[in-house]
Chain A
Amino acid sequence: MSATGSFHEGVHLVSGDVGCGKSTLALIMAGFFTLSEGTIERKGIKSCILSLQFPELSVTGLTVAEECASWGVDTDKILDSTGLHGRENESPLSLSRGELKRLHLACVLDQEYDLLLLDEPFSSLDCREKARLCDRIGYKKGDGITIIFTHEQNILPRVDRIWEISGQALVDCGRPPDAFFRWRHVPPVIIRLIASGQTPDNLSLDDLREAECRIHG
């Protein structure tokens, strides 16, 4: 895969087919892979967090409480926000995958960072939790660079720029809504809204619902 581009402050979305190299690109950006050629310059990036696609691979604590402690976060606050009070002594690996993802993301998003790399953050989350994650990402906006690598099609946050990996190369599709007309992986719901004459301003559920309301007057 080849990639050229500049990721500025804000929220970026990277899409692509299964096996196209999204996770590899996330690992490269996090500094875990050595490039065969080229360079990555991280201007002003003092702290970087990578949230792995599979939350079970990030677990280091034997209990939910230990897992929270390993991230250096306020355990009570995380248990409150994830609805896991009463389960602090359970193994993180005994949680459902959605619950584990929720715990993992709550710990990640409680950190301070300049660069946040989220690999498939929506996988396993139920629709309500996906929407909450979008709100949280929006709330954290302005705190640096957030790059979301995802297949999610329906529940996404407002983003500043859309990218895709196509033909083994990273392609900059631009800013929404103009990007929708260049984006090969544009979600079917947006295709249908555009076909109905209503282009949403951005990717969020509010944007999609606002466009849907315009169809119905």
Chain B
Amino acid sequence: MITIENLRCRNLAIDALTIRPGITSVIGTNGSGKTTFLKLCAGILIPDTGKVMIDCVHPRNTEVGWVNEFPDRNLLFVNVFDEIASSLRFRLTPCNSIDASVHACAGSMGITHLLDRRVLDISGGEKVLVSLAAALVHRPKVLILDDYDSHLDAGSVALVEQQIRTSGAEYVIRCTQQMDTAIRSDHLLFFNCGRITHDGTPQQVIPFLRGTAWFPVLWRCKN
């Protein structure tokens, strides 16, 4: 269980929140604190007050895979292979094991053909796929994805969804502005002005969004 208590950080305030294992989608307005929330769960930010715990462990002591909302800010190395291999190299994983893991991960993401390319030369969507592969290759316990799907075509979104679900990550927390993706989650959080205004399953949250641009067009057909 991820537990958050009395949290204050920048414009974000959460008195109490519990996230069970599974896929949690974070939706809401721009500037409402979604990225701050994800960074707190990843241990990238420390709250001004309050705490975030993942199964009673601080996020900084937890294996986390992270994809930044700015695709270029994920990329540290010159070529795609080195980028995906980086987290394994930092863990001093044996070279032959790194090679096998990178090829397997790239294969599952459909980007084997990019392994020898320079990260600067690939498209925006390809950068996101490389960043996702780099986040997944060390099989993290917690996978945190910030607006990862806004540069992906529908086929890539479906492929990534499959990889996320088979990644072995106990917790997936993702920010998305695609409601088709958001409703395929176990848990939905709606953020507005630094607060979580709706918290529950998609079936519980979506009815509150009727009349807004967040309400999925086919929700009435689906339900």
State the A residues within 8 Å of B (CB).
15-19, 22-23, 53-54, 56, 83, 95-99, 101-102, 120, 122-131, 151, 153-155, 185, 187-189, 192-193, 196, 205, 208-209, 212, 215-216
Contacts and interface: CB of A to CB of B under 8 A. Distances in A.
B111 to A, nearest CB: 9
B30 A126 contact: yes
A16 B213 CA distance: 25
B200 to A, nearest CB: 18
Interface string B188-223: 000000000000000000000000111011101100
Interface string B149-161: 0111111100000
B213 A128 contact: yes
Interface stretch (B44-52, B97-105, B124-132): B124-132
A108 B214 CA distance: 25
B150 A123 contact: yes
B125 A151 contact: yes
A126 B29 contact: yes
B162 interface: no
B103 to A, nearest CB: 19
A215 B30 contact: no
Q: Which 3 A-B pairs have the closest CB atoms?
A: A98-B30, A18-B125, A123-B150
Contact of A19 (B72, B126, B179, B212): B126
Nearest to B71: A54
Contacts of A99: 30-31
A18 B179 contact: no
Contacts of B178: 153-154
A18 B113 CA distance: 13
Given A120-B124, A188-B154, 13 more contacts: A19-B123, A97-B70, A98-B147, A125-B30, A127-B212, A127-B213, A128-B29, A130-B177, A130-B213, A151-B125, A189-B217, A205-B213, A215-B221
Contact of B70 (A19, A54, A102): A54
B154 A129 contact: no
Contacts of A153: 154, 178, 180
Nearest to A24: B123
B35 interface: yes
